[in-house]
Amino acid sequence: MANDINGNRGGQTDSPGRKSKADKTGKSDRAAKLGKTGKKGETGRKCTGRVDKAGETVYDRLNKALKPYEKTLEKNPDDAAAWAGKASVFLKHRMYKDSLKAFEKALEIEPEKTAYLYEKGFVLLQLNRDEAALKVFDRLLEIKPNSDKAWNLKTSVLCRLGQHEKALETSEKALKINPRLAGAWHAKGTVLADLGRYEEAIQAYDSALKIKPNLARAWDGKGFALYNLDRSVEAIIAYDSALKINPDNAKTWVGKAMVHIKLGKYKKALEPCNKAISIKPDSADAWYCKGLALSGLDKDEEALGALERALRINPEYADARKARNAVTSKLGIDLDEKEEEMEEEKPKVRRSVWTRKEPTSEKAKKTREQGRERGGEGTKRSERAGKYQKKSDPGKMGDQKREQRGKVARKNIRAEREKK
C-alpha cells in the first residue's frame, strides 16, 4: 500500500515492498488571502439540508454567506475580490465546480493574482484534474518562485502523477524556502515512502511531527513506513497516535488492521476493518482488508463476499483479485464460470439503475393507455366468461333471462296503475 502526499494510501497489500501511484489529495496547509472581500477557502461540510440549533439549514447558511458578494457583484461585476470571496464560500461547502468557475472569473479580471491561482490549483486537485492543476502551479511559480506552499502542492500533483523523482525535488525547494513547513516535510516523507526509501521517510515524518505533533497524516505515514519495515509494534503505536487526533480516517483504521493481519492476529484485525467500513462503506481497501482477515479465520465464504465487494468498488484492484482467486480455490469454485455469471449480471444491474428516465407527461400518458387496455381486457374477459357460462349451462341462463323479463313487466304494470 503506497501513501499519497497527504498520507492517504492506494491499494493495500500485505507485501511490504509494493509501491503504487499516489491516491487522492486530502487537506493541505493553505493560507492564501483572497483580497479585501475574500475569505480563506477551507473545505467544510457538504451543502445538505441539515438543520442546526438555530433552525438554519446548511443551504440557508450558504445563501447567507454568498449574499454580500452577490450584492457587490450586482453593483460591479468586475470586482475580482468579490468573485474570489464567492469562490471561497463554495469551496467551504465543497462545491468544487462552482468554486472553480468563480475563481476563473476572478482570474479573468486579475490574471496575475497568485492567491487566486493557488486556490484554483487546490480546487482542481479536489476535482482530480491533476494535469490542469500542475499547469496552474507552474504559472503561479513563474510569478512568485519563492512560494513555499505552491511548491508543496506541486509536490502533491507530481506524486499523484507518479513523477516521484520530480516530486522529491519540489519538496526540497519548498523546504529550502521554509524549513519550518510541516506539510512539506510530510510531503517529502510520502514521496520517499512511495520510492521504497522507508528509513528516510520516517526521518522526514519525524521532522514534520517535531514542528506539528498533532499532524495526523504524518503519524499515519510513519505507521505505513514502519509497517513496510516489519516494525509492527511501532507501526501500531503510530497508527494509534493518528487515530487519537483523527478517529474518522478510514484509511488509518485499514492501516492498523493490516499490521494485525501481518502479525497473524486475524480476529483482532476485524474490528478496525469494520470501523473503516462504517466510516467509508465504499472503501475497496477496507473490504479487501476484511476479506484477508476472514480468510485467515477460515471463514472463506464470508471472505469471498468481502473480496468481491472490494472488486465491485474497484475492478482494477489487483491485490483483491489475487486474494479472491486464492479463496475461490480453497472453496473449490470454478472461477471461470463464476466470472461469466458475474459478467452476465452486471449489464442488467447497470441498465436498471442508469436507464434514462422518461418525462412525467409520457409516463402519465402510458399509464392512461395501460389503464384503458386493462379496462378493455376486463370487458373482454367478462364477455368471454358470459359466453363460457352460456355454453356450460344454457338452461340456467334462460331462467335468469325469464326472471329479468318478469321484473321489467311487473315494474311496467305498477307504473300504469300509478298513472290511473
Beta pairing partners, 51: 57
pLDDT score of 360 = 38
Convert the pLDDT of each residue in 140-174 to its tens digit: 999 999 999 999 999 999 999 999 999 999 999 99
Task: Find the angle CA(371)-CA(377)-CA(378) to the nearest 5 degrees.
Answer: 90
Query: Residue 235 is placed in which grid cell?
Result: 507501526
Closest CA to 109 of 39, 42, 34, 32: 34
- Rounded Cα distance, 345 and 62, in Å: 42
Q: Which residue has the cell 500542475?
A: 134
Mean pLDDT over the full length of the chain: 78
- Rounded Cα distance, 276 and 220, in Å: 14
Query: Residue 318 is placed in which grid cell?
Result: 489487483
- Rounded Cα distance, 70 and 5, in Å: 36
- Rounded Cα distance, 100 and 38, in Å: 15
Residue 347, burial from CB neighbour count under 10 angstroms (0-12, 13-18, 19+): exposed
Query: Residue 188 is placed in which grid cell?
Result: 517529502
Q: What is the pLDDT along the chain (420 residues), one digit of tens a residue?
A: 444 444 443 333 333 333 333 343 343 334 333 433 433 333 333 444 555 555 678 888 999 999 999 999 999 999 999 999 999 999 999 999 999 999 999 999 999 999 999 999 999 999 999 999 999 999 999 999 999 999 999 999 999 999 999 999 999 999 999 999 999 999 999 999 999 999 999 999 999 999 999 999 999 999 999 999 999 999 999 999 999 999 999 999 999 999 999 999 999 999 999 999 999 999 999 999 999 999 999 999 999 999 999 999 999 999 999 999 999 998 887 655 445 444 444 433 333 233 233 443 444 444 445 544 445 544 444 454 444 444 444 444 455 555 555 554 455 545 555 554
List of residues 6+ apart from 81 with CB closer than 8 A: 34, 35, 36, 37, 38, 106
pTM above 0.75, yes or no: no
pLDDT score of 33 = 38
Q: How many CB atoms lie within 10 A of CB 76?
A: 9
pLDDT score of 332 = 84
- b/e for 13-24, b at 16 or more Cβ within 10 A? beeeebbbebbe
Query: Residue 229 is placed in which grid cell?
Result: 519495515
Contact call for residues 133 and 5 (beta carbons, < 8 A):
no
- Rounded Cα distance, 338 and 321, in Å: 13
pLDDT score of 12 = 38
